[in-house]
Amino acid sequence: MTAPGWRRDLFALPDLVYLDGNSLGALPRTVADRVAAVVEDEWGRGLIGSWNHVPGSSSGWIDLVDRCARLLAPLLGVDAADVHVGESTSQSLFATTVAGARMRPDRRVLVVDRSTFPTDAYVVSSVARLLDLEVRWCEGPGDDGGVAALEAVLDDDVALVSLTHVDFRTGAMFDLPAVAAAIHQHGALAQWDLCHSTGAMPVDLAAAGADLAVGCTYKYLNAGPGSPAYAWVAPHLQADLDPPVAGWMGHASPFAMRLDHEPRTGVGRLRVGTPPVLALSALEAALGVFSGVTTAELRAASLQLTGRFLAHVDTLAARFPDEQVALVTPRAHHRRGSQVSFRHPHAYGLVQALIARGVVGDFRDPDIARFGFAPLYTTLDDVDRAAAALAEVLESRAYADPAYAERNAVT
């Protein structure tokens, strides 16, 4: 079995325990050199010629979207031809939600889960206002992976169900294939937000019967803050793909400069404006750390890491019963993502006290301490060091330090 953190040497990690890769991934060593080369050589010397291939360089900017799609596809269980990379997660979700609703024009309801990341709810609500649709809420994954929660709200008026695969607060996970099957029984489309999945566990969209999906690349995919998102559309839906923004890069002949819009075939219709070359170059370099890695290896390492930390949390909850440490992450392997979260009355101060001791996790309102485990660079030793620091914080009640009374804007 592959040991967790087996590719740690490929990352530029400071001397601390970093358990926030589910918020911002660590820096792969190759990225800084690649971005510098793009800026200094390809842009600085090649100028506009770098849109095409320059011998001796990794330029050919016009192909960056396709190159990144080829690297992402194995992590999603799909064909690269069905993946688009380039916009933000929110922009991508808006495009696929509108397009999905347009594929079911006689239906008036969009379903979203209450455990979703807030921007997903905002986007779905915005689409509903734009298209005069209704938003219907369902509960989160639950013990059965979310099927019962969906069956309570599904009917033949639902056009699209948009769900977050892994709950960003608790780490609870929807049963992707079972939920997709339930959605399809009512003739609706299944859309997934994979931001807290891709790069840490198998997704296999094609085998699971998904219809649409989006995801970011700055968490477990390590492409840097604000890096481009990806979108995927099942092949059988692409002929009817009608996104809300018709941009010049989504044109069948973008350099013909015609005023009438003739969309590309396939998922390329989601392309909008000029691709973000610097960000895509960083993404391409970052995805190199997954070369030769299988999603089964990622998942096995993730389960080792989360299982070990979960056991530590159980031990500490029993050792310090007055601290009210309450695990919220599912114990069952098939119900949790690559994180462990627990409630604590002073969760914010607890996380800040851990950071002061070199253990970086994060906090989510109102009382959740959250720790993400990136399989490529997080080790079992990291887990044990984090647990030892957590024990010291609980025993000393360092979380009550007045310095932690005022929450900052990010962590």
Catalytic residues: 117, 193, 218-219, 370
> E-assigned strands of 149-248?
158-164, 189-193, 212-215, 230-233
User: What are 271's two structure tokens?
Assistant: 């392309």
Please check whether residue 381 is in contact with residue 305, taking contact to mean a CB–CB distance below 8 angstroms.
no
Backbone angles phi, psi at 109, to 5 degrees: -125, 135
Residue 64 to residue 48: CA distance in whole angstroms: 15
Round to whole Å and give the CA distance between 128 and 266: 25
CA distance 357 to 86: 37
Spatial separation of the C-alpha atoms in residues 33 and 396, rounded to whole Å = 43
Angle 62-64-70 from CA coordinates, rounded to 5°: 135
Residue for token pair 């647990």 = 387
Joined together, the tokens standing for residue 201 give 């566990």
CA distance to 181, 213, 221, 241, 368, per residue, from 376 (Å): 32, 24, 10, 36, 25
Instruction: Give the count of beta carbons closer than 10 Å to the beta carbon of residue 111.
Output: 24
Residue from 255, 236, 214, 185 nearest 97 by CA: 214
Q: Please, where are the H alpha helices in 103-241?
A: 118-131, 147-151, 176-185, 205-208
Q: Are 76 and 198 in contact (CB under 8 A)?
A: yes
- Length of the chain as a residue count: 411
Q: Which of 310, 373, 337 is nearest to 175 (CA)?
A: 337
Three-state DSSP at 229 gives coil
The residue type of 197 is S
In this structure, what token pair is assigned to residue 35?
Answer: 């971005």
Alpha-carbon span 323 to 32, nearest angstrom: 43
CB 400 within 8 A of CB 346: yes
